[in-house]
Amino acid sequence: MRMPFTEFITSGDLKFIVVFVIFIGMALYHFTKKVQSKNKREATQLEYHNNRIDSAAFWIITSAVLSLLLGLMHSFYFIGKSGGGAPNLIFQGISFTLITPVLGVVLFMVCKMLKGIFNSINTPS
């Protein structure tokens, strides 16, 4: 049995999902600007937009690690408060903890792919 994608997204921590949307939006904006500057053959603009995409990727992966640590801390806090727990509750809590970091890693990889696309400027010979 698989978790539906909509449940996967909505079960994540909303604060981090909003941060991810902001930074992936920033990366997509700079990717479109990078494509436009590639067409104009501007090497300095290309490097500038690549740096901005890289910056967005850094903050996405940093937020993903932070969400993992906070989620685990939250899960283990409530396990400790309840004096233990049924294994199904423990595994469900940990599975919800892993949702946001998985999404963050996927968006990190998307940012790295956006950075790697269209990096060469074709100069006429």
Burial label for 87, CB within 10 Å (0-12, 13-18, 19+), is exposed
Whole-number pLDDT of residue 80: 79
Helices (H) and strands (E) in the chain, counts: 5, 0
40 vs 1 pLDDT, higher one: 40
User: pLDDT tens digits, residue range 32-79?
Assistant: 998 888 767 777 888 899 999 999 999 999 999 999 998 888 888 877
List all residues 6 or more positions away from 112 whose beta carbon is below 8 Å from its beta carbon: 57
Whole-number pLDDT of residue 4: 66
Measured CA distances, 96 to 12, 75, 111, 124 (Å): 7, 9, 24, 53
Q: Determine which of 1-5, 42-46, 73-77, 114-118 has the lowest per-residue pLDDT on average.
A: 1-5
Q: Which of 94, 89, 88, 87 is nearest to 72 (CA)?
A: 94
Whole-number pLDDT of residue 22: 95
* Integer Cα distance of 56 and 104 in angstroms: 11
Whole-number pLDDT of residue 93: 78
* pTM score, whole prediction: 0.81
Give residue 5's pLDDT band: very low, low, confident or very high (50, 70, 90): low
Give residue 125's pLDDT band: very low, low, confident or very high (50, 70, 90): very low
Whole-number pLDDT of residue 115: 92
Mean pLDDT of 98-123: 86
